[in-house]
């Protein structure tokens, strides 16, 4: 007897018309639901996310099919991925039946669900069904019984879990009823290829044929109607993420990480800057709210949220969606809260982990731009002072601009104004130039360069703040003013390579300044020094030490520079003890996003939380690669009563102390 089964067994081919009618209704509701949402997305400004299509499609397929983003968090990610794969197989299985019974068979006379293929098909679907039930069970227990902190359960969750479970269980019940009446009686060898169905079937073996037939018909319709309802409610519930989240992979921002739109100051256009209303955001910013599954992975990693500040990246995304759908005229800042918006350190931990490729940071920046450019607001008066200091003296401390290069007196650094014949231009940055503690970084870097016979030049009093902190605080105007000044000076000297000791300067000069016309290779000193060591230009006298390493956000998450600084420290004799949160999962020091200029008035100190993490490694030394980080961490050591227990040094200081050999 050939391995196959009768499609529409017991229910008969008569169900085709009512079935497709209901299916048609379900699809119509589905399409209507998404159309209504589409109209809401369209409130946002235009943004092209259809360029580089082949790349996008590949990314979309890879990320969705392999569930790579979802799997970055192991436990629930694993459950979701297996549920996705198994439910996907079941969907394909159902589709194959439809293709055969309603298309290839009546039109072409082709039956492919037979023989070995049918056996494999049957076995695969049974396994998929049971895997789906088990993983759904796992997700259900997690959501309703052992709920992790911060996971919000809404009405949708009950509906979705119940429907999915009902679809899966009724599927097996139908299979069992059919098998009890057919395969289990007349083709037991085939029945083993439906192991789960067989188990269900055995339950029904004692039932009379008439009852089996009736029960099967009822179950068939129940299963079908739940499945159709499932399709119909997709756009109206969280289920929409089945479509919106993968679509977000397709619409991923392919620009380099951390790219921010450079506002054209000449174009007065509407005279409105930043986002006050949802209509000021891009359509993608509204769409992101629909792609969000409220998995709260962003919130779990947000340093502001972890230290009691009123910011949750997830809430920001959801609230924007809420405003767009329910109250499009509402003011974004009023709804989301200025304190929440100012609390962001732009550390990108949220965006890096998001399984839906949502862009949290730029939304916050757009709203900050509105606050800064349209309202002239600041998170505090200390920031107002720092900003006005940058305007006048080109540094947030308000120190005389002419004293910017004084740290280098006697170190043999060339001042470009006097002699621009150099190998590299060292863009020192404000902290290494003016802050007493951070000047050690600059001096150490020069010692390293001198040891490697690198001729270093600096702009001295011609250098201004790179503009990063004020840009992240929303003040695009001042950013562009200082940037234009720096670019003009740098271009004037025919510089070939720029090295920075600050990851913020590094990102700003190397990436942000491109939009303003600076196209020169910019390197952070950690990779530069790594190159000097591996190229045998710099000889070190390794000396053993134990340390833990703090990845600055703008080097690690933003620029993927994670291995190089570790390699440099290793060649200096360091043995690393990693913190629980390192590399891409590193926890911000609290100084990013312009927060270095601001007092931390809400919640507890982020820097203290980070210092505690470092202390948990029991390493006596915390090494960082950023003047902001060093400042924040030393602050955290002082205020967190960790003095004497943990010492903080910059990578440059360690290397400078081991020159020789």
Q: Which is nearer to other proteins, 391 or 515 (CB)?
A: 391
**424 beta partners:** 456
Dist CA 587 CA 187 (whole Å):
61
**Nearest distance, CB of residue 381 and other proteins, angstroms:** 8
**HSE-up (13 A, CA, CB side) for residue 18:** 8
Of the candidates 508, 498, 501, 505, which has an alpha carbon nearest to the alpha carbon of residue 526? 501
**Which range binds other proteins by CB under 8 A, 80-88, 245-253, 387-395, 620-628?**
387-395
Query: How distant, in Å, are the alpha carbons of 326, 465, 497, 651 from that of 502?
Result: 43, 11, 15, 12
273 binds other proteins (CB under 8 A): yes
643 binds other proteins (CB under 8 A): no
Structural contact between residues 468 and 365, judged by C-beta atoms closer than 8 angstroms: no
Q: Out of 110, 192, 392, 563, which residue is the one contacting other proteins (CB under 8 A)? A: 392
162 binds other proteins (CB under 8 A): no
Of the candidates 368, 341, 598, which has an alpha carbon nearest to the alpha carbon of residue 471? 368
Query: How distant, in Å, are the alpha carbons of 97, 172, 175, 212, 632 from that of 220?
Result: 15, 10, 9, 12, 64
The helix/strand/coil state of 548 is strand
Query: Site map for other proteins, 363-382, x if CB under 8 A?
Result: ----------xxxxxx--x-
Dist CA 344 CA 658 (whole Å):
37
Q: Out of 335, 403, 417, 571, which residue is the one contacting other proteins (CB under 8 A)? A: 403
Of the candidates 430, 417, 427, 63, which has an alpha carbon nearest to the alpha carbon of residue 252? 63
**Nearest distance, CB of residue 365 and other proteins, angstroms:** 15
Q: Out of 387, 422, 619, 655, which residue is the one contacting other proteins (CB under 8 A)? A: 387
**Which range binds other proteins by CB under 8 A, 264-272, 294-302, 342-350, 503-511?**
264-272
Q: Which is nearer to other proteins, 246 or 474 (CB)?
A: 474
Q: Which is nearer to other proteins, 461 or 537 (CB)?
A: 461
Structural contact between residues 466 and 504, judged by C-beta atoms closer than 8 angstroms: yes
**Nearest distance, CB of residue 488 and other proteins, angstroms:** 18
Query: Site map for other proteins, 212-251, x if CB under 8 A?
Result: ----------------------------------------
Task: Record the tokens describing residue 588, joined without a space.
Answer: 């911000």
**383 CB-near residues (< 8 Å, 6+ apart):** 473, 594, 597, 598
Task: Record the tokens describing residue 279, joined without a space.
Answer: 């209509």
Q: Which is nearer to other proteins, 72 or 272 (CB)?
A: 272
Q: Which is nearer to other proteins, 138 or 331 (CB)?
A: 331
Task: Record the tokens describing residue 135, joined without a space.
Answer: 């993983």
Q: Which is nearer to other proteins, 9 or 477 (CB)?
A: 477
Q: Which is nearer to other proteins, 314 or 459 (CB)?
A: 459
Q: Which is nearer to other proteins, 249 or 401 (CB)?
A: 401
Site for other proteins in 315-374 (CB under 8 A): 373-374
**Nearest distance, CB of residue 575 and other proteins, angstroms:** 33
Q: Out of 12, 14, 210, 271, which residue is the one contacting other proteins (CB under 8 A)? A: 271
**Nearest distance, CB of residue 384 and other proteins, angstroms:** 6
Dist CA 608 CA 633 (whole Å):
7
**HSE-up (13 A, CA, CB side) for residue 457:** 21
Q: What are phi and psi of 580, to 5 degrees?
A: -60, -35
283 binds other proteins (CB under 8 A): no
Dist CA 168 CA 170 (whole Å):
6
Q: Which is nearer to other proteins, 226 or 399 (CB)?
A: 399
Dist CA 76 CA 91 (whole Å):
22
Of the candidates 451, 420, 358, 446, which has an alpha carbon nearest to the alpha carbon of residue 660? 451
* 3-state SS string for 270-284: CCCCCCCCHHHCEHH
84 binds other proteins (CB under 8 A): no
Residue 644 burial (CB count, 10 A): 8
Q: Which is nearer to other proteins, 279 or 399 (CB)?
A: 399
Q: Which is nearer to other proteins, 183 or 462 (CB)?
A: 462
563 binds other proteins (CB under 8 A): no
Of the candidates 619, 617, 610, which has an alpha carbon nearest to the alpha carbon of residue 647? 619
Dist CA 152 CA 250 (whole Å):
27
**137 beta partners:** none
Count the site residues for other proteins by CB under 8 A: 28
401 binds other proteins (CB under 8 A): yes
Q: Which is nearer to other proteins, 383 or 568 (CB)?
A: 383
**Nearest distance, CB of residue 398 and other proteins, angstroms:** 5
Q: 552: alpha, beta or left, given left = phi > 0 and alpha = psi -120 to 50?
A: beta
**Nearest distance, CB of residue 643 and other proteins, angstroms:** 12
End-to-end C-alpha distance for the chain, whole angstroms:
83
194 binds other proteins (CB under 8 A): no
Site for other proteins in 477-516 (CB under 8 A): 477
398 binds other proteins (CB under 8 A): yes
548 binds other proteins (CB under 8 A): no
127 binds other proteins (CB under 8 A): no
The helix/strand/coil state of 415 is strand
400 binds other proteins (CB under 8 A): yes
Q: Out of 319, 351, 393, 625, which residue is the one contacting other proteins (CB under 8 A)? A: 393
Q: Which is nearer to other proteins, 416 or 654 (CB)?
A: 416
β-strands 521-524, 497-500: how paired? parallel
**Nearest distance, CB of residue 235 and other proteins, angstroms:** 39
**Nearest distance, CB of residue 477 and other proteins, angstroms:** 5
Q: What are phi and psi of 372, to 5 degrees?
A: -75, -50
Q: 409: alpha, beta or left, given left = phi > 0 and alpha = psi -120 to 50?
A: beta
**Nearest distance, CB of residue 167 and other proteins, angstroms:** 55
**Nearest distance, CB of residue 327 and other proteins, angstroms:** 25
Q: Out of 45, 56, 318, 384, which residue is the one contacting other proteins (CB under 8 A)? A: 384
**Nearest distance, CB of residue 331 and other proteins, angstroms:** 16
Site residues for other proteins per CB under 8 A: 265, 268, 271-273, 373-378, 381, 384, 387-388, 391-394, 398-403, 461, 476-477
């Amino acid at each position: 007897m050939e391995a196959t089964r009768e499609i529409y067994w017991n229910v008969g081919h008569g169900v085709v018309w009512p079935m497709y009618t209901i299916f048609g209704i379900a699809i119509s509701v589905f399409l209507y639901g998404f159309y209504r949402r589409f109209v809401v997305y369209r409130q946002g400004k235009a943004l092209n996310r259809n360029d580089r299509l082949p790349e996008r499609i590949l990314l979309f397929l890879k990320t969705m099919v392999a569930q790579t983003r979802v799997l970055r968090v192991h436990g629930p990610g694993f459950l979701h991925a297996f549920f996705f794969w198994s439910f996907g197989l079941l969907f394909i299985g159902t589709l194959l039946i439809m293709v055969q019974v309603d298309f290839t068979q009546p039109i072409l006379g082709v039956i492919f669900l037979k023989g070995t293929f049918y056996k494999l098909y049957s076995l695969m679907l049974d396994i998929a069904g049971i895997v789906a039930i088990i993983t759904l069970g796992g997700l259900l227990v997690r959501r309703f019984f052992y709920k992790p902190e911060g996971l919000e359960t809404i009405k949708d969750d009950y509906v979705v879990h119940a429907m999915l479970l009902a679809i899966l269980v009724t599927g097996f019940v139908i299979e069992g009823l059919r098998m009890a009446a057919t395969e289990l009686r007349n083709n037991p060898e085939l029945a083993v290829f439906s192991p789960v169905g067989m188990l269900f079937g055995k339950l029904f073996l004692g039932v009379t044929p008439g009852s089996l037939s009736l029960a099967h018909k009822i179950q068939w319709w129940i299963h079908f109607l739940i499945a159709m309802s499932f399709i119909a409610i997709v756009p109206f519930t969280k289920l929409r993420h089945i479509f919106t989240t993968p679509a977000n992979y397709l619409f991923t921002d392919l620009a380099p990480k951390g790219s921010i739109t450079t506002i054209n100051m000449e174009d007065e256009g509407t005279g409105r800057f930043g986002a006050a209303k949802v209509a000021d955001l891009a359509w993608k910013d509204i769409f992101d709210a629909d792609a969000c599954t409220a998995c709260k992975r962003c919130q779990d990693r947000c340093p502001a949220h972890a230290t009691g500040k009123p910011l949750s990246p997830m809430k920001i995304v959801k609230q924007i969606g809420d405003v767009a759908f329910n109250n499009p005229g509402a003011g974004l800042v009023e709804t989301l809260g200025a304190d929440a918006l100012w609390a962001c350190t732009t550390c990108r931990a949220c965006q890096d982990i998001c399984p839906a490729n949502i862009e949290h940071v730029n939304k916050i920046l757009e709203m900050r731009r509105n606050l800064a450019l349209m309202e002239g607001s600041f998170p505090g008066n200390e920031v107002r002072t720092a900003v006005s200091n940058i305007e006048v003296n080109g540094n947030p401390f308000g120190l005389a601009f002419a004293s910017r290069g004084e740290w280098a007196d006697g170190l043999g650094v060339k001042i470009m104004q006097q002699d621009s014949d150099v190998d590299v231009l060292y863009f020192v940055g404000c902290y290494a130039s003016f802050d007493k503690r951070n000047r050690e970084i600059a001096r150490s870097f020069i010692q390293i360069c001198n040891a490697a016979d690198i001729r270093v030049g600096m702009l001295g009093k011609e250098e201004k703040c790179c503009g990063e902190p004020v840009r992240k605080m929303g003040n695009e105007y001042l950013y562009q003013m200082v940037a234009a000044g720096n670019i003009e000076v740098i271009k004037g000297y025919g510089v070939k390579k720029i090295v920075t000791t600050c990851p913020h300067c590094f990102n700003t000069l190397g990436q942000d300044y491109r939009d303003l016309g600076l196209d020169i290779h910019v390197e952070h000193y950690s990779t530069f020094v790594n190159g000097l060591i591996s190229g045998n230009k710099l000889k070190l006298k390794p000396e053993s030490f134990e340390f833990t390493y703090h990845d600055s956000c703008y080097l690690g998450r933003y620029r993927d520079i994670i291995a190089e600084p570790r390699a440099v420290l290793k060649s200096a004799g360091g043995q690393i003890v990693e913190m629980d949160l390192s590399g891409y999962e590193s926890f911000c020091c609290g100084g990013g996003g312009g927060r270095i200029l601001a007092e931390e008035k809400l919640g507890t100190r982020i820097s203290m939380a980070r210092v505690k993490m470092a202390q948990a490694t029991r390493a006596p030394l915390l090494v960082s690669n950023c003047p902001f980080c060093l400042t924040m961490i030393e602050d955290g050591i002082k205020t967190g009563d960790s003095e004497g227990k943990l010492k903080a040094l910059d990578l440059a200081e360690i290397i400078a102390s081991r020159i020789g050999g």
